[in-house]
Amino acid sequence: MKTYDLQKMQELLHDFYNLTGIKICIYDNTETEVCYYPEKLTPFCRLLREDKAADEKCRLCDRRAFAECKRTHRRAVYSCHAGLVECFSPILYGERIIGYIVIGQIRTKDADCFQSEDERLNELYRALPRVKMDKINSAIHILDACAGYEYLKALVSDYDARIDARISSYIEENLTGDLSVSALCRQFRLSRGELYSLFREYFSSSVADFVKMRKLEKARLLLEETRLPVNKVAELCGIPDYNYFSKQFKHRFGASPSAWRKNFVGIAR
């Protein structure tokens, strides 16, 4: 998720904080934080994470929450290693996760389990406002409503509306490159499940069939518009095995590449 209306999103987070008094932030689908209110980290968490071991524990908690959201497509609520409550809720567009809305660094009313040898940390922990569990539950319900709010989805819809065109253009420009599922997932930062779902939704095709179709369509154009040898056409379209290329081309267009070049005007497409 790369395109955000950050000003409008900030206003939404500000309104949530005014209602609940609880910190809130938004991550994109690559698990990168892009917006938060009122601060990125409380003074307690900021000092805690200066310790590398504690910071790794914090990051591990986040990774587990993201993984749970991806697995279930539902919110993940947990207590972090320091005893603070965190809640991750996925923002769904159809079946795909396009981001996450998160509340956290919350000290519950009855929580008093953190103890450190560093008295500064203890003081900052005690300075965290206590929040009753019923208020946290209410905030979580509002969070779920926000995650499903069409206005919030619209703030990132520009990226989503263009992703099919971006993938199609990338494939068209890299017909001789690695267009495997793994390579496309890396390029567009999607999971395999998200990529498969996207191809079904936008292209009504599997990834392999769509890529093959694009290669053959490119070959058809080169045969019609150039005098390149057929084996060179096959190479330029990412199908260097001439026999396989010829067989697939005939299956797709009803004629061999050589016959198509000679008679394509009279062939029904």
Instruction: Tell me the C-alpha to C-alpha distance, in Å, between residue 180 and each of 195, 208, 215.
Output: 11, 8, 14
What is the pLDDT confidence band of residue 266, given thresholds at 50, 70 and 90? very low
Low-confidence winner among 209-213, 252-256, 259-263 (lowest mean pLDDT): 259-263
Query: What confidence tens digit (pLDDT) does each residue in 54-81 have?
Result: 999 999 999 999 988 888 888 999 889 8
SS (H, E, C) 67-124: HHHHHHCCCEEEECCCCCEEEEEEEEECCEEEEEEEEEEEEECCCCCCCCCCHHHHHH
Better-predicted residue by pLDDT, 115 or 95: 115
Q: What's residue 200's pLDDT?
A: 87
Whole-Å CA distances, 259 to 52, 190, 208, 232, 253: 67, 41, 26, 16, 10
User: Any idea how long the chain is?
Assistant: 269
The pLDDT, as a whole number, for residue 129 is 84
Question: What is the predicted pLDDT for the residue at 2?
Answer: 42
Which of 9-13, 37-41, 137-141, 243-247 is predicted with the least confidence, judged by mean pLDDT? 9-13
| pLDDT surpasses 70 at 214 | yes
- pTM here is 0.58
Residue-wise pLDDT tens digits, 122-133: 999 988 888 888
Instruction: Provide φ and ψ at 85, rounded to 5°.
Output: -85, 135
Q: What is the spatial distance between Cα 31 and Cα 98, in angstroms, rounded to a whole number? A: 10
- Using 50, 70 and 90 to split pLDDT, how confident is the model at 267? very low
pLDDT value of position 171: 93
Portion of the chain with pLDDT greater than 90, in percent = 39
Same fold, 6-155 and 162-264: no
Question: What's the CATH fold of domain 162-264?
Answer: Arc Repressor Mutant, subunit A (1.10.10)
List pLDDT tens digits, range 172-202: 889 999 999 999 999 988 889 889 988 887 7
Confidence (pLDDT) at 113: 72
pLDDT of residue 96: 73
Question: What mean pLDDT comes out for the span 1-7?
Answer: 55
H or E stretch at 33: strand 33-37
Residue-wise pLDDT tens digits, 138-175: 998 888 888 777 666 666 555 455 677 788 888 988 99
CA 268 – CA 48 distance, rounded (Å) = 70
Q: Could you confirm whether domain 6-155 is CATH 3.40.50.12280?
A: no
Residue ranges per structural domain of the chain: 6-155, 162-264
Mean pLDDT of the chain: 85
